[in-house]
Amino acid sequence: MANTQRNLLEVKGVKKYFPITGGILKKTVGYVKAVDGVDMFIKRGETLGLVGESGCGKSTLGRVILRLLEATQGEINYDGINILKLKKEQMREMRKKMQIIFQDPYASLNPRMTVGDIIGEPMDIFGLASGRAKEEKVLELLHVVGLGTQHIRRYPHEFSGGQRQRIGIARALAVNPELIICDEPVSALDVSVRSQVLNLMQELQEKFNLTYLFISHDLSVVKHISDRVSVMYLGKVVEIAGKNELYDKPLHPYTRALLSAIPIPNPEVKRQRIILEGDVPSPVNPPSGCHFHTRCKYAKPKCSEIEPELKDVGGEHFVACHLY
């Protein structure tokens, strides 16, 4: 662990605004501020959980990191290289190191290709293997993710959701990546299959020394798999800390409300739930100052004026709140 402490990925002030066009001339009339200035880092070999409500920009951030979407502003350093500055061809090479696993196992596999072709495609693109060697590699990957030799010539529609997700994982592994963005990889799966896939992902992490950015809205899943957790609200990261630190000692009022919503499988335990009032404000027109001040019961006048910085309150526990 000693020499693996260097940050594999650093995200600095990244913003992603989607233009809203209107009128017959298609003029830009506003922006959806999906990601509105995010700072975070991921250490080599760890799993960083990223939680937040639907629509807070988690998935957008994941895609911006892979440049599946172009960032509006900011800097993303991968192993010291700012990938937002890379040219198309250089970025293509970079894609060998970072991969993605998608949420919907039904939409993420091309229905007209066999499993062998799907997993073999990245090898074709990068010329990593061909012919017999490719087939062997594909078979090896199938076994690694818990599928069998007999599956190689089958089509995606012949598999269950969990099996499809395994195929998606095998495709991501085909280029021997270092970082995998997991975009809600188990949200679409049955609860019974969920833990199998999660355990597989943990095994693979150890085996191939992978780094995960694990995006999810499911707090218990994130707690299970992550080393550190960051919490997003309306396009911004409001708190990042080690898993135990965050779950035991949440500082940000939003994190506290979020954590109080985790169901406890014990009817004897009584806990006070913090119910947030109102809805998440629109990302088109986010509140001034701290984005959370409209729903925060500790809000002070300062909160609606000055945007709080993400600051270290000790022990790598970062929080963006004027209370600390």
Partner 1 sequence: MQTKKSINNTAPVKSKRMSEGRSLWMDAWLRLRKNKSATFGLTLVIIICLAAIFAPYITRYDPYKQLIWTEGIKAKLAPPSAEHWFGTDVYGRDIYTRVVYGARISLQIGFAATGMSVIIGVVLGSLAGYYGGFIDDFISWLTNVVFAFPFLLFVLALVAYLPPSLPLMYSAIGVVSWASFARVARGQVMQVKRNEYVEAATAVGGGDSRILFRHILPNILAPIIVQATLEMGSIILLESSLSFLGFGVQPPKPAWGFMISEGKQFFLSGQWWWSVFPGIAIMVLVLGFNLFGDGLRDALDPRLKQ
Nearer to partner 1, 43 or 154 (CB): 154
In angstroms, what CA-CA distances link 50 with 119, 132, 244, 290?
A: 27, 40, 15, 19
- Considering the complex, what minimum distance in angstroms separates the CB of residue 101 from partner 1? 9
Those residues whose C-beta lies under 8 Å from the C-beta of residue 300, and which sit 6 or more positions away, are: 322
- Considering the complex, what minimum distance in angstroms separates the CB of residue 32 from partner 1? 17
- Considering the complex, what minimum distance in angstroms separates the CB of residue 34 from partner 1? 16
What residues line the site for partner 1 (CB under 8 A)?
Answer: 63, 66, 68, 92-93, 95-96, 99-100, 102-104, 107-115, 121-122, 125-126, 149-155, 157-158, 168, 171, 174-175
Q: Which of 158, 116, 167, 110 is nearest to 137 (CA)?
A: 116
Nearer to partner 1, 168 or 250 (CB): 168
Those residues whose C-beta lies under 8 Å from the C-beta of residue 211, and which sit 6 or more positions away, are: 8, 9, 42, 43, 44, 45, 46, 47, 178, 179, 180
- Considering the complex, what minimum distance in angstroms separates the CB of residue 142 from partner 1? 12
Nearer to partner 1, 99 or 294 (CB): 99
Task: Tell me if 324 sits within 8 A of 311, measured CB to CB.
Answer: yes
Distance CA 183, CA 194 (A): 14
Query: 278-297: b or e for each residue (b if 16 or more CB lie within 10 Å)?
Result: eebbebeebeebbbbbbbbe
Rg (CA), the chain: 21
Nearer to partner 1, 129 or 313 (CB): 129
- Considering the complex, what minimum distance in angstroms separates the CB of residue 170 from partner 1? 12
Nearer to partner 1, 189 or 259 (CB): 189
- Considering the complex, what minimum distance in angstroms separates the CB of residue 30 from partner 1? 19
* Contacts for 273-280: CB closer than 8 Å, 24+ residues apart: 280/53, 280/55, 280/56, 280/233, 280/234
Nearer to partner 1, 110 or 220 (CB): 110
